[in-house]
């Protein structure tokens, strides 16, 4: 939603006086999925050239998208989104393998924009009085799970061992023959993704999205901790969120040589992108978390302002305006 002219890529080339044969690609409107979409773009470019270097820069600008109205579904963006950014250096040069932190194993992209509910669950629009804002509906977690389910159909065979896939097929057939008597047995055919993945890097689109994806994958509190702590500390930094989550894992020294990291991102449209990385060496760089990693995870994530301002979740726009007037009179 922030698309200046000249483009951000042109500004980087000019600022650092890059060579004239550099190729630039400027993506906008991709939202929180832009980072993995950029990685996929680089992967395709690498197919046409050897010993190539690619610099991926992703950032978020919330200043042009501040919502000044009273529509709660559009006010959420003001509280959730934050400014953030990250830079990745990618290469297909075999001689640089020893210096690389991770290796990309596979990447899968899914788009369900043909569905009206999925398309409208996260969209920039005008409210009733023509004030522009970013609308996030209650159907967002449902759209995320649906897009994720379709993505997993292509992702699972690429990342899971054959034994787990065979076991899943056996459970599915058994579930069709022996129908479960209660809801607790309906999950008997769930895939165990931990058999092929060591760490889960979930997009910090919101607590509801993290919970929904965590339940779908059968993850523990330990598995979703990086995403929850990133949301708590940095908010949703859009396209760069995944790398803040990865930074938390690295700062906690969770990433060891040979570990496999699954990244999952969502974006308006509605899109779901996922990729699998393999760690090439033990990682321990705290990076952006250096000054606060010792305080995480905190003892509680309860919102300290909920008791005082919790009425915002229950009152109508009329009572909201009345409360504002009363607050002004008291002052």
Does residue 32 carry a catalytic annotation?
yes
Per-residue tokens: 314: 């229950």
Question: 187 by DSSP, 3-state: which?
Answer: coil
Phi, psi (degrees; rounded to nearest 5) at 198: -100, -35
Question: Is 135 considered catalytic here?
Answer: no
Q: Is 111 a catalytic residue?
A: yes
Contact 27, 57 (CB under 8 A): no
Residue 144: Cβ-neighbour burial (10 angstroms; 0-12, 13-18, 19+)? buried
Which helix (H) or strand (E) element contains residue 105? strand 102-111
Q: Is 236 a catalytic residue?
A: yes
Catalytic residue among 236, 272, 273, 275: 236
Ramachandran region, residue 137 (left: φ > 0; alpha: ψ -120 to 50; beta: rest): beta
Give how far Cα 109 sits from Cα of 41, 50, 120, 149, 311, Å. Answer: 11, 24, 19, 12, 40
Give, rounded to a whole angstrom, the gap between the first and last alpha carbons of the chain.
38
Indicate which residue of 70, 111, 120, 280 is catalytic: 111
Give the strand pairing for 260-267 and 199-202.
parallel
Q: Which of 32, 121, 201, 275 is catalytic?
A: 32
The residue from 26, 70, 232, 280 that is catalytic is 232
Cα–Cα dist 199/262, whole Å = 6
**Polymer length of the chain:** 331
Catalytic residue among 199, 201, 273, 275: 199
Q: For the packed helices 241-251 and 221-234, what is the interaxial angle rounded to 10 degrees?
A: 120
Question: DSSP letters of 112-152?
Answer: -TTSHHHHHSEEEEE-TTS-EEEEE-TTHHHHHHHHHHHHH
Give which of 168, 173, 162, 115 is closest to 140, Cα–Cα: 115
Which is the catalytic residue, given 121, 203, 273, 275?
A: 203
Cα–Cα dist 271/97, whole Å: 31
Q: Which residues are catalytic?
A: 32, 111, 199, 203, 232, 236
């Amino acid at each position: 939603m922030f698309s200046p002219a000249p483009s951000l890529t042109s500004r980087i080339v000019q600022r650092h006086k890059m060579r004239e044969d550099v190729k630039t690609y400027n993506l906008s409107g991709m939202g929180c999925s832009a980072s993995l979409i950029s990685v996929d773009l680089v992967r395709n470019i690498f197919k046409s050239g050897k010993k190539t270097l690619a610099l991926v820069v992703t950032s978020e600008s919330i200043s042009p998208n501040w919502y000044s109205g009273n529509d709660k579904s559009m006010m959420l963006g003001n509280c959730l989104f934050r400014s953030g950014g990250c830079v990745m250096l990618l290469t297909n040069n075999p001689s640089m393998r020893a210096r690389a932190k991770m290796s990309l194993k596979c990447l899968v992209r899914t788009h369900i924009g043909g569905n009206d509910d999925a398309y409208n669950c996260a969209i920039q629009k005008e409210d009733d009085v023509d004030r522009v804002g970013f609308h996030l509906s209650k159907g967002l977690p449902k759209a995320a799970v649906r897009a994720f389910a379709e993505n997993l159909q292509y992702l699972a065979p690429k990342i899971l061992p054959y034994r787990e896939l065979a076991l899943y097929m056996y459970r599915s057939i058994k579930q069709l023959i022996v129908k479960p008597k209660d809801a607790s047995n309906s999950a008997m055919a769930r895939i165990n993704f931990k058999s092929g993945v060591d760490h889960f890097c979930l997009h910090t689109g919101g607590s509801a999205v993290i919970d929904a994806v965590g339940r779908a994958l059968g993850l523990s509190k330990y598995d979703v901790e990086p995403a929850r702590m990133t949301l708590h500390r940095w908010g949703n930094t859009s396209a760069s969120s995944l790398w803040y989550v990865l930074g938390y894992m690295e700062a906690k020294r969770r990433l060891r040589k040979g570990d496999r990291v699954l990244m999952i991102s969502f974006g308006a449209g509605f899109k779901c992108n996922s990729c699998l990385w393999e760690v090439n060496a033990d990682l321990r760089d705290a990076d952006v978390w250096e000054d606060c990693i010792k305080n995480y995870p905190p003892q509680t994530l309860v919102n300290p302002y909920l008791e005082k301002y919790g009425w915002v979740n229950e009152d109508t726009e009329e009572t909201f305006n009345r409360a504002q007037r009363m607050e002004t009179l008291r002052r």
